[in-house]
C-alpha cells in the first residue's frame, strides 16, 4: 500500500470517528485512535506518522521491537494489543507505553517489577471476555475485581480501564451490546482512586458501535493499512 493511500485511509477513519462521536453527542477528541500496525512494514507506520498519527498498536513483541528500532527517530506512543506471554513481559515493560489486554495477576506483577523505575508506570487496560468462550483471551467479568485489587498494590503499572474484543457481529445494534456491557462493568468497578476512565473497544468493523457506547480508544488496523500482508 502506498503512503498516500495510508494517509487517505487515515483521513477516512478519522472522519468515521468524528461522525460517530457527533451521533453520540461526544467530543471527537475524547476518542483516541490506536493505529494497529501488526504485520505491516515500518514504511506503512512512517506514512501514517507523516499523516499525523502518533499512537500505534502492535501484537507481536519481536516484530514490534524490530520496527521500533527502524522508527527510533519518530516520537511514537507504542501500545501492546496482543496476548501477554510470561517470557515477553520484560520487553513489553521496557518498550511499550500501554498494554491493552492484561488478564492475569502473574503478568501484572511481572510487568510492574520489570517496568524501568525511571519511566512512568505502564498504562494498562484489563481485558474482559464477554462472549464466554474459553478459547478467547480475557477475564470473566466476575474475576475482574480480584485482578484490580492485585494491581492497586503494584507501583509499576497503572490500570486505566477495560478492554474487550468481542466475537464479530452483524449490524450496529448487535455490535453495541458487548460494548454496553463493558461500559456498565467499568461503571460498577470505578472508584475515586481507580477511575477507570478508558474503554478500549472497537476495530475496523465495529468502530461506530464502540464510539456510540463510549469507547475512549478504538484499535483500527485494516481500515488504515489494508489487509495484513504477511504472517
Ligand atoms: C488486529 C487487532 C486489531 C485491529 O483489527 P482490524 O480489524 O484490522 O481493525 C484491534 N485490536 C486487536 C486486539 C487486534 O489484535
Q: Is 127 in the pocket of ligand 1 (CB under 6 A)?
A: no
Q: What is the pLDDT of residue 132?
A: 76
Cβ(222) – ligand 1 distance below 6 Å: yes
User: What's the Cα-to-Cα distance from 37 to each of 55, 70, 99, 158, 213, rounded to whole Å?
Assistant: 10, 14, 15, 24, 25
User: Which residues is 198 bridged to in the sheet?
Assistant: 161
Residues in the chain with pLDDT < 70?
230-231
List CB contacts of 66: < 8 A, sequence separation 6 or more.
none
CA distance 191 to 36: 30
Distance CA 205, CA 223 (A): 9
81-111 tens-digit pLDDT? 999 999 999 999 999 999 999 999 999 999 9
What is 3-225's CATH number?
Answer: 3.20.20.10
Tell me how far the alpha carbon of residue 208 lies from the centroid of ligand 1, in angstroms: 15
For ligand 1, is residue 219 a contact (CB within 6 Å)?
yes
**Radius of gyration of the chain measured on its C-alpha atoms:** 17
What per-residue confidence (pLDDT) applies to 135? 76
Q: Is residue 29 packed enough to be buried (19+ CB in 10 Å), middle (13-18) or exposed (0-12)?
A: exposed
* Helix, strand, coil percent values for the chain (each to nearest 5): 45, 20, 35
pTM over 0.95: yes
Angle at 99 between CA 95 and CA 105, to 5 degrees: 110
β-pairing, 122-128 vs 77-80, is unpaired
CB atoms within 10 A of CB 208: 21
C-alpha–C-alpha distance, residues 98 and 160, integer Å: 9
228 lines ligand 1 (CB under 6 A): no
Domain ranges of the chain: 3-225
Pocket of ligand 1, candidates 1, 36, 96: which has the most ligand atoms within 8 Å of its Cβ, to mutate? 36
Q: What is the dihedral of CA 159, 162, 163, 164, to 10 degrees?
A: 150
Residue of 165, 209, 219 best suited for mutating to test ligand 1, as the one with most atoms within 8 Å of CB: 219
Residue 31 Cβ inside 6 Å of ligand 1? The answer reads: no
Q: What distance in angstroms lies between residue 219's CA and the mean position of ligand 1's atoms?
A: 6
Cβ neighbours of residue 10 closer than 8 Å, sequence gap 6 or more: 35, 48, 51, 52, 53, 224
Contact call for residues 5 and 44 (beta carbons, < 8 A): no
Cα angle 98, 99, 102; round to 5? 150
Q: Is 220 in the pocket of ligand 1 (CB under 6 A)?
A: yes
pLDDT one-digit tens code per residue, 57-75: 999 999 999 999 999 999 9
Q: Using alpha carbons, select from 204, 201, 231, 205 the residue that is nearest to residue 218.
A: 201
- Structure confidence at residue 120 (pLDDT): 98
Amino acid at each position: 500500500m502506498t503512503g498516500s493511500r495510508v494517509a487517505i485511509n487515515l483521513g477516512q477513519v478519522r472522519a468515521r470517528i468524528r461522525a460517530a462521536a457527533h451521533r453520540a453527542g461526544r467530543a471527537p477528541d475524547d476518542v483516541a485512535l490506536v493505529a494497529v500496525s501488526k504485520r505491516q512494514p515500518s514504511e506503512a507506520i512512517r506514512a501514517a506518522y507523516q499523516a499525523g498519527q502518533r499512537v500505534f498498536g502492535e501484537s507481536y513483541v519481536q516484530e514490534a521491537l524490530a520496527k521500533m528500532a527502524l522508527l527510533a527517530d519518530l516520537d511514537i506512543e507504542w501500545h501492546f494489543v496482543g496476548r501477554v506471554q510470561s517470557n515477553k513481559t520484560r520487553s513489553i515493560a521496557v518498550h511499550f507505553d500501554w498494554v491493552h489486554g492484561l488478564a492475569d495477576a502473574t503478568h501484572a506483577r511481572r510487568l510492574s517489577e520489570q517496568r524501568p523505575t525511571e519511566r512512568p508506570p505502564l498504562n494498562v487496560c484489563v481485558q474482559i471476555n464477554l462472549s464466554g468462550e474459553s478459547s478467547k483471551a480475557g477475564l470473566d467479568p466476575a474475576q475482574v475485581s480480584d485482578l484490580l485489587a492485585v494491581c492497586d498494590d503494584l507501583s509499576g503499572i497503572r490500570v486505566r480501564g477495560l478492554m474487550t474484543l468481542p466475537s464479530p457481529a452483524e449490524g450496529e445494534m448487535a455490535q453495541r451490546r458487548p460494548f454496553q456491557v463493558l461500559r456498565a462493568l467499568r461503571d460498577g468497578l470505578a472508584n475515586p482512586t481507580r477511575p477507570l476512565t478508558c474503554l478500549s473497544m472497537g476495530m475496523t468493523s465495529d468502530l461506530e458501535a464502540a464510539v456510540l457506547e463510549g469507547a475512549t480508544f478504538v484499535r483500527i488496523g485494516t481500515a488504515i493499512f489494508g489487509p495484513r500482508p504477511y504472517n
